[in-house]
A and B are shown apart, each in its own frame.
Chain A
Amino acid sequence: MVAIIKAENLTKIYAGQLKAVDSISFDVEEGEIYGFLGPNGAGKTTTILVLITLLKPTGGKATLCGYDVTKETAKVRSCIGYVSQDTAVDENLTGRENLLLQGRFYHLPKDTLANRIDEVLEMVDLKDRADDLVSTYSGGMRKRLDIAEGLIHRPKILFVDEPTLGLDIQTRHKIWEYIQRLRRESNVTIFLTTHYMDEADALCDRISIIDYGRIKVIGKPNELKNQIGGDIITLKFSEQNGRTEEAIAKIKALPFVESITPVASSYTIVVKNGETAVPKIFEAANSVDVKVQAVSLKRPTLDNVFLAYTGRALREEEGSKDEIMQERMRLRRARQ
């Protein structure tokens, strides 16, 4: 696999005060969806702004598609698309006009641009509303238009900053679908940031957990979850035929079982790969005629992972006055 984004000891310090990004290194492979997961203010957006050439790094080095982000800015800009967390679409233009403008910013020839506009409108299901003013769009539609704009010049890498910030649950799932579809139908590499665990889990092939400007851990969501311990099965036996102890001994002997502890009238079993473990545990119990009355399987979530690597739960921090205002604007637009 080829690393399409390479960052080495990337550091950004704002005006001598805050280390927003603190010596981070990571590689993103071509075609993958790579996520930066962390709370607000962790340095996710700063990292994106450095990578897309809008901020100069204080230290370290980054290349995109082989181009240096500080020295070959024009080349970097041509090979990337950027969808900001602000949903920066122009309300006073129609959807089509927004796309037209964006395509022209990338100097696409007229005919190509006309085709691309239809193509991306199709992709985000906005064809019917293309000629309506964006001020009449819902929050989800605006975000879809925004994503379409990021794709108009067929970038090699698409940067998506907090794709579902301020959107309701249904709309979030819709946006996820579009992002997944995008990956299936084109081979664009997607770099996204989010502070939603479920989002990182649903979309990303690999994630970096970032906190206070530092990368705490990098890995596949599943691997990360497995690393912090197994799945948790809660089991209740129905018949006390005296052979429960025997059943427990059998279960304990299974190779994937890490521990079994009685909790009230049930047992908590920590296992690897919970889905495949459940039927085998059933078989073990049945082999000594012990029946299972109730079972539940809990997988560790990225919340647990975040907690394990940062020592605390994902926090929401107060932003500056400007950020709060922007957040309100986003929510207001999302509700329309």
Chain B
Amino acid sequence: MKTNVIVDVWNVNWRELKRFMRQKPRIVMSIVQPIIWLALMGSMLENVVKLPYFRGVGSYLDYMAPGIVVFTTLFGGVFGGLSVVWDRRFGFLNKMLAAPISRSAIPIGKMIAATLVSGLQATIILALALAMGVNCVTGPLGLVAAIMIAMLLCLLLSGVSLALGAVIKTHETLMVVMNFLTMPLMFTSSALFPLEAMPSWLADIARWNPLTHTIDPIRIIMTKGWEWSTIIPDIAVVSTLTITVALIATMLFRRSIS
């Protein structure tokens, strides 16, 4: 039975990946958009990096690249739950449920698929960022770590999105809710400005924002080096949150189908 769960997760995941690879415009757009952000905002705010809050980061591009990579995985995760709403609407969900597959494999397979896809996007964006002059002091190993941390956030957000998708049964409403979540998450994090530069109320919010805890370790790895004492607590926070959310999402999904 246990091996079957893994097989089922793989099958669900396989379908999502196949589908994604067929949607070429979606792939292109998911990469072009962050690159435009990086190019525009990177140039616009070039000189802001001279402010003391930035603590000697080489360039604003260096500062914001981790944020942009995490934005990408954030978007990937946010829309992870949509696929289950579509599947419900078009009857595919019932078809899967009529088969003897593990119920939990459906949300888990979808979360993993969203995460793998966002990992691919993050890799491409990081490669383009490097070509634009972004530095990574820890070299290729640091980049791999950065991508994996960013993927963790995607897993978290796809869990949130799936949990909401189990409760909200129409895709229009889910889209609105998820969009409503993304913007504040982006702008109350350390993605574009350091917490020290924010008013204290905003900094307090940012400290609670999981995005901050994802972006900070990536930024340290890319701009400072392997400072484990700051990296590990952040990753621990995001991991704990991710596991909790994944469990809740799976539970809510199971409840929504029974």
| A/B interface sample: 21 pairs, CB < 8 A | A49-B94, A54-B97, A54-B257, A74-B100, A82-B98, A86-B92, A87-B91, A88-B91, A88-B92, A88-B95, A90-B19, A90-B92, A92-B19, A105-B96, A105-B99, A105-B100, A107-B100, A149-B95, A322-B89, A326-B90, A329-B90
Query: Which of B4, B91, B258 lies in contact with A84, CB distance below 8 A?
Result: B91
- A332 close to chain B: CB less than 8 A: no
Contact A54 B94 (CB under 8 A): yes
Q: How far is the CB of B218 from chain A (nearest CB, A)?
A: 32
Query: Which of B18, B23, B95 lies in contact with A97, CB distance below 8 A?
Result: B18
Chain A interface mostly = mixed
**Contact A133 B22, CB 8 Å, known A77-B98, A104-B7:** yes
Alpha-carbon distance A326/B92, docked complex (angstroms)? 13
* Set of chain B residues within 8 Å of A329, measured between Cβ atoms: 90
Chain B interface mostly = helix
Q: How far is the CB of B18 from chain A (nearest CB, A)?
A: 6
Of residues 67 through 93 on chain B, the ones whose CB sits less than 8 Å from some CB of chain A are 89-92
Contact A93 B91 (CB under 8 A): no
* Set of chain B residues within 8 Å of A82, measured between Cβ atoms: 94-95, 98
- B224 close to chain A: CB less than 8 A: no
* Set of chain B residues within 8 Å of A133, measured between Cβ atoms: 22
- B11 close to chain A: CB less than 8 A: yes
- B101 close to chain A: CB less than 8 A: yes
Closest residue of A by beta carbon distance from B257 = A54
Closest residue of A by beta carbon distance from B170 = A322
The proximity string for B residues 208-235 relative to A, scoring 1 for CB distances below 8 Å and 0 otherwise, is 0000000000000000000000000000
Alpha-carbon distance A149/B98, docked complex (angstroms)? 12
- Chain B residues packing against A (C-beta within 8 Å): 4, 7-8, 11, 14-15, 18-19, 22-23, 89-92, 94-101, 170, 257-258
Q: How far is the CB of A136 from chain B (nearest CB, A)?
A: 12
Q: A90-B15, A133-B22, A326-B89 are in contact. List 6 more A-B contacts (CB 8 A).
A: A56-B258, A78-B100, A86-B92, A88-B92, A93-B15, A102-B95
Contact B19 A106 (CB under 8 A): no
Query: Which of B4, B14, B99, B170 lies in contact with A102, CB distance below 8 A?
Result: B99
Q: How far is the CB of B63 from chain A (nearest CB, A)?
A: 38
Contact B19 A84 (CB under 8 A): no
Residue with the greatest number of chain A CB neighbours at <10 A, chosen from B8, B97, B100, B258: B100
The proximity string for A residues 84-102 relative to B, scoring 1 for CB distances below 8 Å and 0 otherwise, is 1111101011000100011
* Set of chain B residues within 8 Å of A74, measured between Cβ atoms: 100
Q: How far is the CB of B73 from chain A (nearest CB, A)?
A: 22
- A52 close to chain B: CB less than 8 A: yes
**Contact A107 B19, CB 8 Å, known A82-B98, A326-B89:** no
Of residues 52 through 69 on chain A, the ones whose CB sits less than 8 Å from some CB of chain B are 52-54, 56
The proximity string for A residues 40-59 relative to B, scoring 1 for CB distances below 8 Å and 0 otherwise, is 00000000010011101000
* Set of chain A residues within 8 Å of B89, measured between Cβ atoms: 322, 325-326
**Count of chain A residues near B, Cβ 8 A:** 31
Closest residue of A by beta carbon distance from B92 = A88
Q: How far is the CB of A116 from chain B (nearest CB, A)?
A: 14
Alpha-carbon distance A106/B100, docked complex (angstroms)? 6
Contact B96 A92 (CB under 8 A): no
Contact A88 B8 (CB under 8 A): no
Q: How far is the CB of B50 from chain A (nearest CB, A)?
A: 49
Residue with the greatest number of chain B CB neighbours at <10 A, chosen from A49, A87, A105, A329: A105
The proximity string for A residues 224-267 relative to B, scoring 1 for CB distances below 8 Å and 0 otherwise, is 00000000000000000000000000000000000000000000
* Set of chain B residues within 8 Å of A210, measured between Cβ atoms: none
* Set of chain A residues within 8 Å of B23, measured between Cβ atoms: 92
- A80 close to chain B: CB less than 8 A: yes
Contact B7 A107 (CB under 8 A): yes
* Set of chain B residues within 8 Å of A97, measured between Cβ atoms: 18
Contact A77 B15 (CB under 8 A): no
Alpha-carbon distance A149/B92, docked complex (angstroms)? 12
Contact A101 B94 (CB under 8 A): no
* Set of chain A residues within 8 Å of B14, measured between Cβ atoms: 101, 104
* Set of chain B residues within 8 Å of A149, measured between Cβ atoms: 95
Residue with the greatest number of chain A CB neighbours at <10 A, chosen from B92, B95, B101: B95
